[in-house]
Amino acid sequence: MQNNNVKPWYKLWWVWVIISAFFFLFLICIIGSSASSDTSNDIADTTQLSKDDDSDSDISKDDDDSDSNNTDTSDYNSNDDSTDTNDDSSSITDDSSSDANSDDSDSDATTNQQSALQQAGYYANDANMSKAKIYDQLTSSYGGNFSSSDANYAINHLDDVDWNQNALATAQKYVDDYHMSKSELYNQLTSSYGEQFTALQAQYAINNLD
């Protein structure tokens, strides 16, 4: 005979206890997984921030190194400029030494140099020319037609020439023959198209006119 007192399963209390327990465990798993995910994200963010800070630090260090290198290069270039200036000074000194040595070796002069020296002596002692005008006269195709080196040799080897006296003699001739004013005379003495004396030589001449 069938027992009609058996309760359906969903009316049994222990069934609901089991279901509640499983549901509770399920909730715990979900919450734990979410918390773990958040922690992982926080760790990842912290790691990324740390990497960004390191990257910024490296960039800053690179900039500092670059500035330091630029400074070193600037210093090096400054030293190069100083060296170049010293080299130029040395060249000038060497040239002066070369001229001094050539003064002691007149016997080694070429035929053209000796001829240029003889002409330069006439222009300086008899024609009372300035040094610049003698050079132009020696190198001109209408004059001596010497090379620049021969003309320079001749001028550098002139003996006992008083350029102030040359300027005075030339100025006196202009005054006596052309009756120039001091201002006009000064311009004529210093002009590149005139006598080509220096300003000091021209002034000396004007100050010592008869």
- Predicted TM-score (pTM) of the model is 0.51
| Residue pLDDT, tens place only, 4-18 | 566 665 566 666 677
**Average pLDDT of every residue of the chain:** 74
* Mean pLDDT value of segment 98-116: 71
Neighbours of 115 (CB within 10 A): 16
**Who has greater pLDDT, 37 or 72?**
37
Contact between 133 and 195 under an 8 Å Cβ cutoff? The reply is yes
Average pLDDT (97-120) is: 74
CA distance 130 to 133: 5
Gap between the Cα atoms of 128 and 201, Å rounded? 12
pLDDT interval class at 30 (50, 70, 90): confident
